[in-house]
A and B are shown apart, each in its own frame.
Chain A
Amino acid sequence: MVWCPAWPLTAAVLTGRSGRGPEFEPAQPLMVMHAQRVSCCSPAAWREGVRPGQRKRQAQGACPHVVIVPHDPDRDARCFEPVVRAIGTLVPLLDVESPGSLLLATRGPSRYVGGDIALADRLMALAATGSADALDASGGFGVGVADGRLAASLAARAAARSGRPVVVPSGSVATANFLAPYPVSVLAPTVGCDPQLIDLLCRLGLQRLGDVAALSATDLLDRFGATGVALHHLCSGTDDSSPSALPPPPDYTVRESFDDPVPQLDMLVFAAKSLADHLDAELAARGQLCTRIVVEAESEHGETSRRVWYRAEGLRASAIVDRVRWQLDGWINGTDPPSAGITSLCLTPTDLRADSGRQQGFWGERSQADDDAAKAITRVTGLLGPHSVRIASWCGGRDPRGVYELVPVSEVGADGRRHSERPPTPPPWPGSLPAPSPTVVHHDPVEADVLDAHGRRVTVSGRGAVSAPPELFVRSSHRFVVAHWAGPWPVEERWWDQRSRRAAHFQIVIDHPHGPQAYLLEISGGRWFVVGEYR
């Protein structure tokens, strides 16, 4: 396995150099945010204390000058294409797992170049061609050689840290010994294991892969079913899903030929979408899921682009389309583009497994209503733009305007459900107003005025004393009599930085021709604003 720990950062640096994106310096602390969490960070950022999985605020707290690199899987895939191409000159059949990670069967190539270590060195050299110093941003490539996918990815990770290839001797005992000391949490990033399962294993006292391997396979089968057996195979190094060098069976191949060669990427992706939908529907009808797919495209002049893509969670239609787009984008817009339009596109699933529904849905556990809503949301997002549909995310705070923040559904993605959930025991916010809360909140302050019996503006002193009881409420030149009022509730926030704010909140009930109406007001800097209305 050839693996790059933070490929998106290298891709961003390379894109910046070629003038197709903002420039980044590889030596400075960089990080990529996805779904409001740090998804990867550069070695410089790591030294400052930034860790993947942190929120933006935590990361910036650890390293205030960290630069955020936009999340863009297409860019990553495009930049990875030359690396795949370079390695392809030595090893023709390889599985691309994701941009930044690829897997190959070593038996043939090792014999050819003279052993695993020689092969690993050659791969390191090939992977780093042309992007040597840009790799500073991600920590460089790691090459790991081992039996099985899990051991190889762990070896590659270890190699990326040490900077030298790691070769685990062949044989299930050696592999099991290599795997044993790793914590079970490594299963999530490497083979896409369900985090809930990992949590359960930890709670059962199985902290390390060796602990799981020490159990008998039948016990794991009893407790976890087929997943348990797969888990045992993984942990004891007898996993047999190694990358195959055999040509795929032609049964499920879907192919689209174009009479007129197609030069544009969009049209190809569109064609790929219908192919992928067709394939997905056919496999779903048989209760199967493909985990590895070969994408082949051929140009009018006979040039071909062929890639094998692997994904442990399974490739659904949208995932297949993404991979086709990455591959073709890298080919058509890359350094060695085809000299004519594309005439055929072919998708061949090579690894199939029973669809056990392991893939988590977009909204977590799904019901029919959730499915329908997700479709409607996608449709509206298409009509109005990606930021038009938002979901409330709990932030906390004492100001009714800030307790929930609206975040675009497209950004929050799978975390939508977790985000809006209010913590079961929200932390106390001294000074926040008790329920009920205003049904209408004004994020842009609406100016108003509150006058006392003599027609003077009511003010609040520095010590929180009201100058006179409010008598009149004036809003857009309409005057209303204040029937009841309460306050002031002084709010002094962020006194430590420039955004410091001093204000006082009031609740008032006014006599309105349609009945009493309640408002939440704020006085700040001697001016009155309407914060909320109880309608």
Chain B
Amino acid sequence: MAIDSLRRPASELAAGLAPKHGSLTFAHERLLPVVPGLAALFGVEVTADGTPLGLTRGHTVMCSGVAAVSCALAVAAAPSRAGSWVAIVGEPRLGPLAAAEAGVVLERTVFVDDPRGGDPASVLSALVDGIEIILVPSALIAALPTSLTRRVQTRAQSRGAVLVVVGDTPSIVPDLRLTTRAHEWEGLGNGFGHLCRRRIGIELDRRRGRPTRGDVWMPGERGDVEACVSTGGSVVPLRRPG
């Protein structure tokens, strides 16, 4: 009997436990993937299938600094590849091509008009109900009363959606803050070359614990995020031929 109960799949066991301990979820249900380039920053291991899980569902992520848009796209990319939908609200200028290069799957991405003419909180709540990653410019959040922002945030928490705020605003308290600083652009000379990649310093600050820092290429040569191998001094990392 005891062995039989151990042989049951974990999910079945969880169902048995649920009445006693409230709802029980597993780590992989609570977490969404992050791109391998950001895995070290999130403090997670890159698994064999290349999708490290590091982004907690229901969290609010604030991407700020000079590379805020690239950073937000990088956060959205891995869950989007894994089957989540992405909504980009009130930012029609965001380049779909750059989003595609960053790894966001455009088939599952919708661009929603600026809801400031209507009822932004209802629109955000409706999106949170069905779409897992929602990119919102900070200006839109700042225009909302704090009570409504909190309501949207709570709703996102209960539905397991991730709110990604692009830009800095004091009117929302994020669970995760990604601050970017640009170090250098590579590939452009004086009258020759073309933009190849950008090295940025990125700092991840959870509400608890010490912030982690790291350097990444964002965008990398193909437009996605590449981990920055520490090169030391002025050694230029090897580039693929062609």
Contacts and interface: CB of A to CB of B under 8 A. Distances in A.
A interacts with B: yes
Interface of A: 367, 369-370, 372-377, 379-380, 383-385, 387-392, 394, 400, 403-404, 406, 409, 416-417, 420-422, 433-443, 466, 469, 484-487, 507-509, 512, 514-518, 532, 534-535
B85 A373 contact: yes
B95 A409 contact: no
A417 B68 CA distance: 28
Nearest first, the 7 A-B pairs at minimum CB distance are: A376-B130, A515-B182, A436-B219, A404-B96, A372-B130, A392-B96, A373-B85
Given A376-B126, A388-B113, 15 more contacts: A369-B132, A384-B115, A390-B110, A390-B113, A391-B110, A400-B95, A404-B106, A435-B101, A437-B98, A437-B101, A441-B97, A507-B195, A515-B66, A517-B182, A535-B69
Interface stretch (B21-29, B36-44, B170-178, B185-193): B185-193
Given A373-B130, A375-B130, A485 B190 contact: yes
B182 A514 contact: yes
Nearest to B159: A372
A420 B222 CA distance: 19
Contacts of A372: 85, 129-131
Contacts of B97: 400, 403-404, 437, 441
B67 to A, nearest CB: 6
Contact of A383 (B95, B110, B118, B197): B118
Given A372-B131, A373-B131, A436 B66 contact: no
B4 interface: no
B57 interface: no
Interface residues of B, number: 62
Contacts of B181: 514-515
A535 B195 CA distance: 13
A507 B66 contact: no
Contacts of A384: 112-113, 115, 117-118, 123
B198 A486 contact: no
Contacts of A420: 106-107, 109
A421 B107 contact: yes
B83 interface: yes
* Most chain A CB atoms below 10 A, which of B70, B83, B98, B119: B98
B98 A388 contact: no
B100 interface: yes
B92 to A, nearest CB: 7
A406 B188 contact: no
Nearest to A373: B85
Nearest to A417: B107
A374 B195 contact: no
B35 to A, nearest CB: 15
Contacts of A486: 188-189, 191-195
Interface in B59-117: 65-70, 73, 83-85, 87, 92-101, 106-113, 115, 117
Contacts of B203: none
A435 B191 CA distance: 18
Nearest to B82: A369
Contacts of A422: 100, 106
Nearest to B113: A388
B66 A435 contact: no
A391 B130 contact: no
A174 to B, nearest CB: 48
Highest count of chain B CB atoms <10 Å: which of A370, A436, A514: A436
26 contacts: A372-B129, A372-B131, A373-B130, A374-B130, A375-B130, A376-B126, A380-B112, A384-B115, A385-B113, A390-B113, A392-B99, A392-B106, A394-B106, A400-B97, A422-B100, A437-B101, A441-B94, A484-B185, A484-B188, A484-B193, A486-B189, A508-B188, A509-B185, A514-B66, A516-B182, A516-B185
